[in-house]
Structure 1
C-alpha cells in the first residue's frame, strides 16, 4: 500500500417523521419522531460510514446498501457501519481518529453522546479515545432549526497497517 494515511468526510440528512423510532449513533432516544429512511436512518452512523468509504475510495453508503434493496429495509445502521469497517479493515486500514457532529434542534443530545461514542467505536473496533461525537443546535435556522430533520457530518483519518 503506497499511501500511509487517508482522510474521508461524510454527511447525511434525513427528515423526521412521527411513528418512527429515533436512533442516533446506535442509541435509541425517546422522542416523538424518528428519522425517515429505508434503514433505521441513523444519520451519525451513515455519516461515519460515508467518511470511511470516502477515505478508501469506495463510493458511498447507497452504492453498497441501495435503498431499493429490500434486504436493507429497517436495517440497523450500526450493522451497515460494521460491514463498511470490515471492508476498510480488509484493505489494511485502521482508524487514526473520527470526529462527528450531529445537527439537531431537539431533543437535546448531550445526555446520549457518550453512549453514541461507545456504540460507534465498538462498531469499528476502535478505542473510544479515537472517536469523538458532539452535537450542535441550528438555533432555529432553516429546516434543521424547524425540526424537520437531522443531519450529521463526519471526518476520519485512516492509517495503513
Structure 2
C-alpha cells in the first residue's frame, strides 16, 4: 500500500498563489485592457461567448472564463460547463443551457503553473519545454497566448523572463 505524503509548506503556498491568481483572472483581464493595447487587441479578436479554461493537473485548480456581449470576461462555475463534450473539442453540447469550452490550457503540474504565474518562466519557454498542453482552434489559442503574455509582462516586467530582451548587434 502506498502512503500519502502531506504537502510541504512550500507546496501549499504555491497552490494558494496559483489559486488566487486563477480566481482573479477575469478581473485582471478585464482591467488590463485599459493598461495594455495588446491585451485589448487580443480581447477584441475573440468573439462574444468565447470560453477558455486554465487547468492545473494534479492540483484540482481550474478557471473557466467566458467573454460576455459587453466584451468583458466572467468566471463560469463548473456546474454550468457541458459534461457531454470534451473541453476544447469544438463540439456542441446536447444541453442548450450548458457552456462549452472553446480552448484549454492545461499545465502538467503545479510547479509549472507556479513558474509561469510567478514570472519565473515565460509562456513561450514553458510551451517549448511542454509544461502545458493545449486543445482547441489554433487561431484563438495564439490570441490567448499573446493576451496572457502581455498580461504577465505587465505584471512581471521586472522579472528576467518578461523583460524586453536586447537585440544582439551584428556589427
TM over 0.5: no
Comparing both structures, which one devotes a greater share of its residues to helix? 2
Q: Normalized per residue, which structure has more strand? A: 1
TM norm structure 1: 0.29
Report the structure number with the largest CA radius of gyration.
Answer: 2
> Structure with the greater relative contact order (CA < 8 A, sep ≥ 6): 1 or 2?
1
